[in-house]
Structure 1
Amino acid sequence: MIVTSPGRNFVTLKIVTDEGVTGVGDATLNGRELAVAAYLNEHVVPLLIGRDPHRIEDIWQYLYKGAYWRRGPVTMTAIAAVDTALWDIKGKVAGLPVYQLLGGRSREGVTVYGHASADTVDGVLAEVAKYVADGYKAVRLQAGIPGLSGVYGVHTGPGVYEPASAAVPAEAVWSTERYLHHVPSLFERVRDEFGPTLKLLHDAHHRLTPIEAARLGKSLEPYALTWLEDPVPAELQEGFRLIRRHTTTPLAVGEVFNSVWDCQQLITEQLVDYIRTTVVHAGGISALRRIFDLAALYHVRSGSHGATDLSPVCMAAALHVDVSIPNFGLQEYMPHTEETDEVFPHGYRFENGYLHPSEAPGLGVDIDEELAAKYPYRPAALPVNRLEDGTLHSW
């Protein structure tokens, strides 16, 4: 188990077979990293000793069903780390990149979207221009809201945006009224300047009620979003039916989901258009493929989370899934810091709006343990939101 913080915290599981073949899996749970590390060290790793690493599905079921206490982000992130590392091992033994073991390519490259954010609409326009110049075909737009400070998803300083900062959660003030009034003007400006073909996305980050989300989706219809992400907290999945009644803006959800059961109703009732579950939070490559296979039956496409709270190990794994599935939609991509890339040497590459998985056997990513040891863990909590009257609110 390797815990390192080259700019932010990551947890990595490295499995070594009795024949000396190694595999790596991401075990990072943003803001709760040490909980997963302890779960793996104390409850999972001892169970792996002496098992056949090629029995990936059997080991997955053993760790899921055998614990009795199923699901939950800590458990599923731990299972994901094991599953991903075992796929890495299987690919190396077979001499093939993992995507070949998943059925081979369904596309030449993985379309990714970048994050254009700034305090002002003019600042966002400048960021979009940079992404377009770099070849991106899809961009997520987030802007500061007049009268509010510290809005989640809005990057105001140099370097990589990272919401988890202080050991004690930072607090921000939120106003849904100000937000709903301002956001349409952002998309109007971007569409006017960059035309109809650039894919535009927006993250509401669970902060709305269903009828508020319906209002936002309807107001954004003239700007043809590719998706509106996380419009409401997804515990009440019935709420998505209300949103559907009022807007044709496509909906995306799922980065906090950790099993196919979290997705089932939304997918089978066609209440969302993109499912954003991830390798690391949904139980690994094996479980993510099951979710996307279910989604394919209901015209739902993938849109996996891929922010910097996931290590290059997870990004590499995601790309092998992305390039192989028939119902791929988009892949989020936030480049890591130079320090992170050095700790996690990898073979995937970005070119003209697409990411390409490594052609090396396995995942095509590793961890430099000696370099990782130079970046010790540091406590870093995600922020919280309060309304203007002080009520705690989704952030």
Structure 2
Amino acid sequence: MAVYSIITQRVDSSNVSVPRWHLDYPSNGKSVDNAELSRDGLLFQGWVLNEESSSASLVILNGNEVLQIPISRSRPDVVKRVLKEEPENHPLLHCGFSERVKLKHSEFTLGLIQDGKFVELMNGSIEGKFQILEGKDGWLFLDNDTNKSIEQYTGKLKLSRTAQAEWKEYLVSLDGFSLSSGTPVCLLVAPSKEMVYEEYYPYSFSKKAPIQKLKELIPKSLNFILPIEELRNLEQRSFRVCDTHWTLHGARLAAQLVASKLSFKSIGELDVFANDIYQNRAVSGDLGSKLFPPQRHEEDNLTNFNYRRCVVFDNNIDNFGRIIVMYHQHAVIDETLLVFGSSSSYTMFHYLCRLYTSVVFIHTAGNVDHKVIDVVKPNCICVQTNARFVVKAPKFNDTVVNYIEKKKEQGRLDAPFTAEALPSGIARYIEYFKKISV
């Protein structure tokens, strides 16, 4: 659920004669969620002491609308504390207002109409937690995110020497593990959408961007996937307009590229999604939801298949530490794929679990847990991270237990889900996941 901050600023009216007034609510910096704004509207509550004989009307400028707010509420506290008079039967006793307004725009103005003139009292705005960069044709991008996406893209933030050394160690270890164990491994980096749809982005891509330096560090023998051109040339749009993540079509292509690298099959051999059915619907996404009103765009929704049907275990942990096991007996490849992935992996499940009989997902953003590898004994492994995360290298020796323990300390664990009937081969390692998740 989107949460916004209400930003208010009084307008200097020292050169204009206006009644004394005060806004009790909303206060500057007040948090409010989208459900309240959409369902009930924003509460404006306060008082206006019109001690002059001339009439004054309180109004809200809401886009091109002028909404009058009745000043009719009894406020004995104001009469007593501000006027220092007894409130009983006082002529200004009903100086209060309390009205909910369904705002249509992110900016609004509170003011008075007196003697036929409008006087501004306060300007306000509804702002999301993060600033959103608006590109061309309504495309939204990250702005002041913790990974400094803009600075990375423009080359102002480079891959530090320390990060380069850590990446090199990680990549060599990953490649060495694959070669020594005989387990096919691929590294999938989900590109930022500005790399794919740069025509909508207001900045120019720099050759000094961290992702460019990372590409130079990749061992030739390591299966590396950074599908910028593939996603750009996809027949369908590969990224969501109001979200940081790829569309289902982009996720489908990424899943096929992973399976192709790991199984040595062509994309054509893995094209089992030709009969998929999509339905168009308007959604806001992780960027559009941070604007007010939320910005939406039409995206394709897969209707004939959902990976949740294949889930046989889910520890229901939010973000890092999430473990999901999927089983689909009619998949193309009768193997177990282990994914150490991030948020971009989730939409890939709709396709990966139709490509592989068993898919085990660990949310670590590319960090590798060797205990999980030993328990699952996968046929192949995909480590997946996002391009904006590359300023910090993943860990080759990590443990998912640490993430789970942190969530336990924070009281952020829900009851794990386990299917009643489990394939014998999968039940073995699910017992381990249940043990560390409870």
**Over alpha carbons, which structure has the higher Rg?**
2
Structure with bigger RCO (C-alpha 8 Å, 6+ apart): 1
Report the structure, 1 or 2, having the larger helix content: 1
TM-score of the superposed pair, with normalisation by structure 1:
0.26
TM-score of the superposed pair, with normalisation by structure 2:
0.24
